[in-house]
Amino acid sequence: MHVVWIARDHKYVYGDEIAGLVFNHPWRTIFDTGTDGKPDAVGLALKAFDEFDADACFIVSNPFLTYALGRACKDRPAGHRLPCYGATWDS
């Protein structure tokens, strides 16, 4: 599993225990929006998928990024499409 975690001040917001689990994970991409600004989240995720040779994408995010990343996974060229799972935001 490769984790892409985009947030502001991870340790302060989520605490040392949760942040430590992700920071110590061998396959992770961590982006701090407080120091690095707003990233190209879809680009970061797709790069991680390709480098890790992922089998699927699981999204925990807001409706905009969930839809954008889901669309990006679906719109990849044939043979490189990635099954993508996230909230449907339909309720």
The answer to whether residues 45 and 57 touch, using CB atoms and an 8 Å cutoff, is yes
Beta partners for residue 57, in sequence order: 84
Confidence at residue 28, expressed as pLDDT on a 0 to 100 scale? 94
Pick the closest to residue 6 from 86, 83, 61 (CA basis). Answer: 61
Q: What is the pTM of this model?
A: 0.84
Joined tokens for residue 84: 């993508």
Each of the 91 residues of the chain gets a pLDDT tens digit; together they read 999 999 999 999 999 999 999 999 999 999 999 999 999 999 999 999 999 989 999 999 999 999 999 999 999 888 888 899 998 877 6
84 phi/psi in degrees, rounded to 5: -135, 135
Question: CA torsion 12→39→77→50, rounded to 10°?
Answer: -50
